């Protein structure tokens, strides 16, 4: 029995040794900043309602190389007036080899966005400050929780479709 366990451990460690993850490049793919109600908006008291939306997308470049794009959209409003709209598409090129489909989905939806987020956060902060508004520092994001929530929503949606059919 111990020989079987040793073979299983060796096989498992062999699979682990084949897994490779590397960051090749981080870059700002796209950015947008709008202040539709300036300069009048600067005369109002600064107590904005801020909405932050996050999206991730991945595009395979080869079997082992993937581009992951984290999109951060921030809208600040004073009442009905939009103070600013800032959008950043922070991208990275990642090498991922030796991972199963579920692991790749997790890396694309959580691990890679965790790497990209600090860069996107800085880009948003710079845009907002250069737009003449007080600095905006986005709070840390738990991409693991967001991915789990997305999976739950997808499963619930699939179950609803099964019931309908």
Q: What is the CATH number of the domain that holds 131?
A: 3.10.420.10
Higher pLDDT, 163 or 31: 31
Nearest C-alpha neighbor of 104 from the set 24, 19, 39:
19
Tell me if 21 sits within 8 A of 107, measured CB to CB.
Answer: yes
Residue-range definition of the domain harbouring residue 59: 25-142
CA 123, CA 31: separation in Å to the nearest integer? 9
> What was the pLDDT predicted at 74?
98
Higher pLDDT, 147 or 76: 76
Higher pLDDT, 165 or 154: 154
Q: What is the DSSP letter of 42?
A: G
Q: What is the tally of structural domains in the chain? A: 1
Residue 31 lies in a domain: yes
- Above 50 in pLDDT, residue 15? no
Residue 20 lies in a domain: no
Residue 154 Rama label (left phi>0; alpha psi -120 to 50; beta): alpha
pLDDT tens digits along 34-71: 999 999 999 999 999 999 999 999 999 999 999 999 99
Which residues, other chains included, contact 119 with Cβ-Cβ below 8 Å and sequence gap of 6+?
26, 28, 90
């Amino acid at each position: 029995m111990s020989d079987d366990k040793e073979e299983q451990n060796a096989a498992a460690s062999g699979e682990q040794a084949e897994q490779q993850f590397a960051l090749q490049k981080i870059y700002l793919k796209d950015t947008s900043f709008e202040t539709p109600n300036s300069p009048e908006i600067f005369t109002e008291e600064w107590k904005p309602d801020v909405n932050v939306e996050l999206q991730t997308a991945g595009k395979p470049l080869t079997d082992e190389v993937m581009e992951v794009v984290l999109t951060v959209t921030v809208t600040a409003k004073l009442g009905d007036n939009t103070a600013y709209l800032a959008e950043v598409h922070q991208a990275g090129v990642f090498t991922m080899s030796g991972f199963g489909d579920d692991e790749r989905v997790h890396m694309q939806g959580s691990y890679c966005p965790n790497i990209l987020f600090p860069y996107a956060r800085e880009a948003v902060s710079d845009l907002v400050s250069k737009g003449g508004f007080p600095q905006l520092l986005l709070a840390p994001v738990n991409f693991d929780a967001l991915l789990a929530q997305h999976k739950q929503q997808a499963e619930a949606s699939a179950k609803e479709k099964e019931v309908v059919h």
